[in-house]
Amino acid sequence: MRGDGIHRVCVIGAGVMGAGIAAQAANGGAQVLLLDRDDIAREALTRLRKSKPAALMHKNLLGQIVPGNVERDLKQAADCDWFVEAIIEDMGIKAALYERLDAVRRPGTPVSSNTSTLTRATLIRDMPASLARDFLITHFFNPPRYMRLVEWVADPDQKFGSLKDFIDRRMGKRIIRCKDSPGFIANRIGTFWLHAAVTEAIKRSIDVETADALLGRPAGVPKTGVFGLLDLVGLDLMPHVLEAMREALAVDDPLLDLGPIPSLVTEMIADGYTGRKGKGGFYRLNNGVKEVRSLIDGSYAPARRPKPKAARGGGLRALINHDSPEGAYARAVVTRTLAYAARCLPEIAERPIDVDAAMRLGYAWKKGPFELNETLGAEKISLPKLPKPALLDSDPWGLADVKAQGAPLASNRSASLWDLGQGVAGLEFHSKLNALDPFSLAMMNKAVTLIPRRGMSALVIANDGTNFSVGANIAMLLVTGKLRLWPLINWILSHGQKTFARLKYAPFPVVGAPSGMALGGGCEVLLHCDALVAHGETYMGLVEAGVGIVPGWGGCKEMLGRLSEMPAIGRGPMPAVLKAFEIIATAQVATSAMEARDLGFLRSDDAIVMNRDRLWLQARDRALDMAPGYQPPKPRTLHLPGSSGRAALLMAIGDFERKGLTTPHDVTVARALARVMTGADTDPTDPVGEDHLLALERQAILSLIRTPQTRARVDHMLRKGKPLRN
């Protein structure tokens, strides 16, 4: 018999949201039945397979989703543990569907709607009480894999323990309880903000680009700003949502004071200018040139990328106080939105922090409205008093809680060491993009000496940044390379190698807990950890070839070691060498933690945590499990194929070259890599130690950095943030 919990999910509606929710349920390990019309359900699977960014975390997960026809196959859903409806936003059609679901479901099985505008009270109005008791709203955001918010609308006495657990732990979402009001939290505030920004821009003759420059970065909103965001989600969505809100809201709601959708927008929609999915929107690409639409006459002109003076000062407060039409525009939009959030607060949420979290996770704001409000000083808007919340979901423990308790054990400009409690230390990177530099390395060395001295027993390496680490700071490499300071480069490399080795062979367990990108040196640190507890959304890769070098902090050595221990790779030295060579030469980046496991970046017993909020706790638990009686690993010896293996790799490179798949410098880098991966001139019968491989890594980098092509790649990456294909 199956235990409690959600194992089989029935998603009805295979459109944008239904397909995405089905994929995320599959990512979370469920078997999914996806029902719609036959052709639509089947097409949804094809779309899922091809979607970019991928909706599925691993290609094999597609097999967990079975498409079906809602008329014919509903009875197959009888044993499902959760029904989630994501069909057209039409009360009558939804109600008819619920009746049919009720006829097949086991009593007590939760049924939820993904509606964005209808309230729960409306949806349950004509339902039998037995269904209403099991009915709730679970509002996912688009795209469901990547947006971490689920708005949850249920009665306080409805528990849904298994469903909550599934959405939180398996689908990885932060569940925010919302009160049952139109648009819930995020769309209520978000719609007001977008509508205010558009209407005020038209009224004040602020052009599209200036508005986005003002309301993007300085307000901590993604740089798409307002008009860019509307293009992204589709202009046609706006009248729909706004109309539904206007119908449902009280007559004195300030959203209504903003007036109807401007005719300029409705005309754009009628002409097919619905944004990125249509002929273009407020922005468009015309033969590769980015153009902006005039709010006055609808003509397009090349983008100017203005940097308004009002946005150059320090943050939001300076922006809204800037004495200029731009400052006045920002003030009008920002203060009205914050005042609106304050006014709605008792109606939409139990706590201000829920509103802040909803805007951060649902609209990708850096700070929520009340957090922004705190930065305004004298201009701060006062908040209404709220009754004590009925039900409190405490947020999982993390570094923020540790920081609230006091100072770090040690800190420098790029990294800090924290006491996570129970004898576990936490190493946090906090340089720009968490790039690793001598300060980051210094803090690792400090951890190795400090932890035993303080009687602590384990180390977790993690941080709350968007990206764990984008890799070594390559600016240093470029400067030292240009100045031909070869001994210094050799020292930097060997210092990093020794530091990572000290972590690996430390007398206590080291657990890496990455989320986001872990590239180059950031990936290499993790390869030296005893265990990983990785967020599902971890993107690991040894991307050094992109800047014309090879991994030089033990990455080549560790990949060879790991892959030679993976049963699936095959026996003898050559299969592991080939696989590691391929992964590094083509700079493969895993697009999920599951893919990272296939590539050998994660071991089979490393954990994957779906909910980012739970990463710190699970990593600390893992470290605590490992600490009693911990023995550091023994250094590996490998058998590598030597020059004959290298000849085989060079032939493979030659093949790619002939097919035109490589640039000339790709070939140079691949040749240098082939020398490292095969152990240079070693004999296949002689064991190769770690030091030998580390020396080969250093030699390869020292030879490559002497080439102008590698220096051009590094320089290009630093200036443009993407690889140069020379």
Supply the minimum distance, in Å, between the C-beta of residue 519 and ligand NAI: 30
Q: DSSP letter string over 116-133? A: SS--HHHHHTTS-HHHHT
Structure-block tokens of residue 425: 């230390």
Spatial strand order of the sheet with 415-419 comes to 410-411, 415-419, 424-429, 458-461, 510-512, 531-535, 607-609
178 binds ligand NAI (CB under 6 A): no
- Closer by beta carbon to ligand NAI, 139 or else 646: 139
Minimum distance, C-beta of residue 139 to ligand NAI, in the bound complex (Å) = 6
Interatomic CA distance for residues 107 and 626, integer angstroms: 43
Check residue 68 for interaction with ligand NAI (CB under 6 A).
no
For ligand NAI, which residue has the nearest CB? 15
Q: Identify which of 153, 148, 141 has the alpha carbon closest to the alpha carbon of residue 178.
A: 153
Q: What is the CA radius of gyration of the chain?
A: 28
Read off the DSSP letter of residue 707.
S
Q: At what angle do helices 208-215 and 186-203 cross, to 10 degrees?
A: 140
Q: Which of 9, 13, 181, 550 binds ligand NAI (CB under 6 A)?
A: 13
Q: Which span sits near ligand NAI by CB under 6 A: 139-147, 449-457, 526-534, 571-579?
A: 139-147
CB nearer to ligand NAI: pick between 20 and 398 = 20
- Exposure b/e, 385-409, CB count within 10 A at least 16 = b: eeeeeeeeeeebebbeebeeeeebb
The DSSP-derived string for 176-230 is: EE--S-TTTTHHHHHHHHHHHHHHHHHHTT--HHHHHHHHSGGGTS-TTTTHHHH
Least distance (Å) from ligand NAI to the CB of residue 150? 10
Closer residue to ligand NAI in complex, CB, 93/661:
93
State in angstroms the smallest separation of the CB of 151 from ligand NAI: 9
Q: If binding is defined by CB under 6 A, does position 21 make contact with ligand NAI?
A: no
17 near ligand NAI, judged by CB under 6 A: yes
Residues 24-63 that bind ligand NAI (CB under 6 A): 35-37, 40
Task: Tell me the closest approach of the beta carbon of residue 37 to ligand NAI, in angstroms.
Answer: 6
CA separation for the pair 421, 401 (Å, rounded): 11
- The distance of closest approach from Cβ of residue 144 to ligand NAI in the complex, given in angstroms and rounded to an integer, is 9
219 touches ligand NAI by CB under 6 A: no
Q: According to the binding rule CB under 6 A, does residue 16 interact with ligand NAI?
A: yes
| Closest distance of CB 66 from ligand NAI, Å | 15
Stretch that binds ligand NAI, among 136-144, 584-592, 630-638, 715-723 (CB under 6 A): 136-144
Does residue number 89 form part of the binding site for ligand NAI (CB under 6 A)? yes
The string of DSSP codes covering 643-686 is HHHHHHHHHHHHHHHHTT-S-HHHHHHHHHHHHHHTTTT--TTS
Draw the binding track, 97-126, toward ligand NAI (x: CB under 6 A; -: no contact).
Answer: x----------------xxx----------
Should residue 93 be labelled a site residue for ligand NAI when binding is judged by CB under 6 A? yes
* 232 binds ligand NAI per the rule CB under 6 A: no
Q: What dihedral angle (degrees, nearest 10) is formed by the CA atoms of 498, 500, 503, 504? A: -100
Beta carbons of 444 and 459 less than 8 angstroms apart: no
Q: Which is nearer to ligand NAI, 150 or 461 (CB)?
A: 150
Cβ atoms within 10 Å of 557's Cβ, excluding its own: 30
| 225 contributes a contact to ligand NAI by CB under 6 A | no
Helix, strand or coil for residue 701?
helix
Q: How far is the CB of 256 from ligand NAI (least distance, A)?
A: 21
Contact 693, 553 (CB under 8 A): no
What share of residues in the chain are helix, strand, coil (percent, to 5)? 50, 15, 40
Q: Which is nearer to ligand NAI, 241 or 580 (CB)?
A: 241
* Total chain residues near ligand NAI (CB under 6 A): 24
Binding span for ligand NAI by CB under 6 A among 80-88, 488-496, 502-510, 715-723:
80-88
At 418, give phi and psi (nearest 5°). Answer: -115, 155
Three-class DSSP category at 69 = strand
Alpha helix (H) ranges present in 406-437? Answer: none
Smallest separation, CB 85 to ligand NAI (Å): 8
* Residues 141 to 160 in contact with ligand NAI, rule: CB under 6 A: 141-142
Q: How far apart are CA 317 and CA 322, in angstroms?
A: 9
In this chain, which stretch among 8-16, 292-300, 377-385, 600-608 interacts with ligand NAI, using CB under 6 A? Answer: 8-16
Contact region with ligand NAI (CB under 6 A), list: 81-89, 409-417, 432-440, 665-673? 81-89
**Closest CB 42 distance from ligand NAI, rounded Å:** 12
CB proximity list for 374: less than 8 A, separation 6 or greater? 380
Decide if residue 244 touches ligand NAI (CB under 6 A).
Answer: no
Interaction of residue 373 with ligand NAI, rule CB under 6 A: no
Per CB under 6 A, which region of 13-21, 50-58, 152-160, 274-282 contacts ligand NAI?
13-21
Neighbours of 443 (CB within 10 A): 23
Residues that bind ligand NAI (CB under 6 A): 12-18, 35-37, 40, 70, 86-89, 93, 97, 114-116, 139, 141-142
